Chain A
Amino acid sequence: MLSRVASSVYWLSRYVERAENVARFIDVNYNLTLGESDTLGDQWAPLVYTTGDQIPYEKRYGAPNRDHVLKFLLFDEKNSNSIISCVSYARENARTIREIIPAVMWEQLNQFYFMVRSAATNPATLDQPQEFCERVRLASHMLVGATEATMSRGEAWHFSRVGRLIERADKTSRIVDVQYYILLPDARDVGSALDVVRWSALLRSASALAMYRRQYGKITPNSVANFLILDTQFPRAMHFCVRKAQESLRCITGSQTGTFINLAEQRMGLLCSNMDYTSVEDIIQQGLHQYIDGFQKQLNSVGKAIQEDFFTSQQSQSQSQSQTVNENSQSQTS
């Protein structure tokens, strides 16, 4: 397929996944702060940390508070990672490749876009963001569902899946990194009602609560880390995401298990095998934050290699300038 088209389908998925994650973070956080007076009153700052945009946020809004954070994450068009920006970029990408995606995908994304635009003009959305966040999550699921149900398992589908999974792995790693550290100092009263509420919230941020419970039952910090980082069955776990992304890369290149033909595959392979042979005890011992930091660096380098191997290697200088729709996204992982 055309390199430009492959790039667009990849970024389309990433942006939709990103919008969905932001919506889920907000929703969970909002629930968590409801009814709390002060202990959880400062929960809005970690939200900005989770998306990785604390610097631009502080420059423009100063100290985090509920209204500003919501506005920044939902509808701030100057924030390239806000929901409205993500959905607009996704739709712009879709417009440039409308000819290769199934009509239902385009229609679903188009309606998604109009839904977000109209919510942005409604002041009630910021007062009561939950319903909106729910709709964003559903719209994203509908789009993924439409893709799964109607798109041939060809290159375009695989690029779309790689984009979605890389984005998802990145976001889950951020949830674990930021939230885990905020929660850990309080872990001494493990088992208290409040503690369970917070840990459940972390799991819910990744839509992981029910699946976690079936696997482990009781909530313990190590099990939560194990589930979100290393599980190979749960579709939002980091390990699951990189494994499936690797699978799709292989389908694109046609290379055999245990081999690679380009840099993207090599880096992805390294990342996967590292996770295949790591235990949560190793991670805790090494330091969870250090581990996740390393993971994000490796994931970024995979993303860069994909960009170079598939999207830009054929293009000369002047041509890469025309890829404006994707440019904003380069700053996504800080």
Chain B
Amino acid sequence: MRLAPYQYSEIFDEMFAPDGSPRASGKLFVERLQTLTEGSLQQRQKAADISLQNMGITFNVYGHEAGTEKVWPFDLLPRIIDADEWKTIESGLKQRIHALNLFIDDIYNECKIIKDGAVPEELVQTSKTLRSQCKGFHPPQGVWCHITGVDLIRDQDGQIYVLEDNLRCPSGVSYVLENRELMKRTFAPVFQGMSVAPIEDYNEQLLKTLLDCAPEGVNDPTAVVLTPGIYNSAYFEHTFLAQQMGVELVQGPDLVVENGYVFMKTTKGLRRVDVIYRRIDDDFLDPKNFRPDSALGVDHLMDVCRAGRVTLANAPGTGVADDKAVYAYVPDIIKYYLGEEAILPNVPTFLCSDAKQREHVLANLDKLVVKPTNESGGYGILMGPHSSQEERDKTAAAIRSNPREWIAQPMLKLSTVPTLVGDELQPRHVDLRPFVLCGKEIYVMPGGLTRVALREGSMVVNSSQGGGSKDTWILRNGHSQTEINHAATALEKF
């Protein structure tokens, strides 16, 4: 098929160099695309869309009807990353998660980092996600954050930056796995022999991570996934993970605390639960310890957790480290605990709690992206260059009245990946969310969720706001020539 020539721009494209030739990582893939007959890509895309609907791969959108199901939007063209670059990303992520776990443990216990002045006390004490109920708590294996989704972006200089850490209940990994499955079903001849790192063992790794962190002395631990229920936006993912790990998917009312342990209610009576992969926010986890009006949680769950008789993954209180103002200090946190420079840089960040930085932000609102420190899913963000005076005034007032709650970053130009739009390929902006598991060891899934802004020029990749997704290929080093020939033969029949 014909590939639409890319217009050169200052934006970094993941597949093509500025002169229009494919980058090394995408060369083989582009060659294969070119041999496809006209229209077959569209045909495959259609087949993928039908599969998504039939398989019921959906997400729920809030705000319209309660729990409206939407089919997960998927684009057939992958994002490809070569092995060497991935190696750097992987070690950067491991370093980061290691340090963040040490940080959270320190914050709820000795607070050495504060005493040593590496992170201001004020910053931590004013974090809305700090949970006083967790003071003095040490989770099994010292792991607070078992599952992390780290958002990465590539700016126009080609550098990969960490945009944010999602340490509470990061979503999306099920879609990564389903995207890959779909890719294999619908795009097999192109996929074949590409030497893409496998991700299919994620569920196994997740189960191992959870069981590794079971309370001490439990020989054959029982793990469950705790969901708020079918109206949650990530409900599909909750069922997917429970199913793939072969554990029960429970809702709050299925659990009960008795005699200091957690049990689930079964047709044969109560059965003890040792590890809970919870997908409910801290506030709703335990009405007796957090929000009393929650109907989703389990009374006294936190007491059992503190007594070390059940493991919650992620542990309550991890949110303190994904506060966006704390984020600005992560390079310092890495340096403090590990004595190393951060391998993956942060996006330069201005803290509005600092008077000097705040003045800079207020003076440059039309150039910056301003974010609340404590929202997720892209809510409450001001995109300076695309904003109206009225919006800027409103944000300025909000910053002045509560500076701690705001940060600002320069407007980044997210890199692009060719995406099927009608009959041609057009560049669309992407980010990347790799998933990191931390148990006895740290595991980084090779790849992650590539989210794509489907609207032309848009940089908003959230699925709740019309974003789509792509498969992410991490190439292993070197293709054998036989593999390539074999795949080329297969392709001719396609």
Q: Is A328 an interface residue (CB 8 A)?
A: no
Query: Which residues of chain A from 292 to 321 have a CB within 8 Å of any chain B CB?
Result: 310-311, 314-315, 318-319
Shortest CB-to-CB span from B271 to chain A, Å, is 9
From A93, which residue of chain B is reached at the shortest CB distance?
B230
Contact among B53, B55, B242, B264 for A99, CB-based, below 8 A: B242
Q: Which residues of B contact A99 (CB under 8 A)?
A: 225, 238-240, 242-243, 248-249
Do A2 and B54 have beta carbons less than 8 Å apart?
no
Give complex CA distance A5, B250 in Å.
Answer: 9
Give complex CA distance A251, B253 in Å.
Answer: 27
Give the secondary structure class of A's interface: helix
From A111, which residue of chain B is reached at the shortest CB distance?
B54
Q: Which residues of B contact A322 (CB under 8 A)?
A: 229, 251, 253, 295
Do A2 and B265 have beta carbons less than 8 Å apart?
yes
* Interface 1/0 per residue, B264-284 and A, CB below 8 Å: 111101100000000000000
Give complex CA distance A319, B296 in Å.
Answer: 10
Q: Which residues of B contact A3 (CB under 8 A)?
A: 254, 265-267
Shortest CB-to-CB span from A89 to chain B, Å, is 13
Give complex CA distance A84, B226 in Å.
Answer: 30
Do B54 and A110 have beta carbons less than 8 Å apart?
yes
Q: Which residues of A contact B265 (CB under 8 A)?
A: 2-4, 314-315
Q: Which residues of A contact B270 (CB under 8 A)?
A: 314
Q: Which residues of B contact A44 (CB under 8 A)?
A: none
Shortest CB-to-CB span from A315 to chain B, Å, is 7
From A322, which residue of chain B is reached at the shortest CB distance?
B253
Shortest CB-to-CB span from B71 to chain A, Å, is 11
**Chain B residues within 8 Å of chain A by Cβ, number:** 27
From A309, which residue of chain B is reached at the shortest CB distance?
B267
Q: Is A155 an interface residue (CB 8 A)?
A: yes
Contact among A1, A97, A100 for B266, CB-based, below 8 A: A1
* Interface 1/0 per residue, B209-248 and A, CB below 8 Å: 0000000000000000100011000011011101100001
Do A4 and B230 have beta carbons less than 8 Å apart?
no
Give complex CA distance A92, B239 in Å.
Answer: 13
Query: Which residues of chain A from 63 to 96 have a CB within 8 Å of any chain B CB?
Result: 92, 95-96
Do B243 and A98 have beta carbons less than 8 Å apart?
yes
Q: Which residues of B contact A155 (CB under 8 A)?
A: 267
Given contacts A2-B250, A4-B254, A107-B55, A95 and B230 within 8 Å (CB-CB): yes
Q: Is B120 an interface residue (CB 8 A)?
A: no
Q: Is A6 an interface residue (CB 8 A)?
A: yes
Query: Which residues of chain A from 98 to 137 have a CB within 8 Å of any chain B CB?
Result: 98-100, 103, 106-107, 110-111, 114
Q: Is A252 an interface residue (CB 8 A)?
A: yes
Give complex CA distance A315, B240 in Å.
Answer: 26
From B250, which residue of chain A is reached at the shortest CB distance?
A2
From A325, which residue of chain B is reached at the shortest CB distance?
B230
Q: Which residues of A contact B225 (CB under 8 A)?
A: 99
Q: Which residues of A contact B243 (CB under 8 A)?
A: 98-100
Q: Which residues of B contact A318 (CB under 8 A)?
A: 253, 295
Given contacts A95-B230, A107-B54, A2 and B253 within 8 Å (CB-CB): no
Can you list 19 A-B contacts (CB < 8 A)? Answer: A2-B264, A3-B267, A4-B254, A6-B267, A92-B230, A95-B230, A98-B240, A99-B243, A99-B248, A100-B248, A107-B54, A107-B55, A107-B56, A110-B56, A314-B265, A314-B269, A318-B253, A318-B295, A322-B251
A interface residues with partner B (beta carbon < 8 Å): 1-6, 92, 95-100, 103, 106-107, 110-111, 114, 155, 159, 252, 310-311, 314-315, 318-319, 322
Given A2-B266, A103-B55, A322-B251, 7 more contacts at CB 8 Å? A3-B254, A95-B235, A98-B236, A106-B56, A314-B266, A314-B270, A322-B253
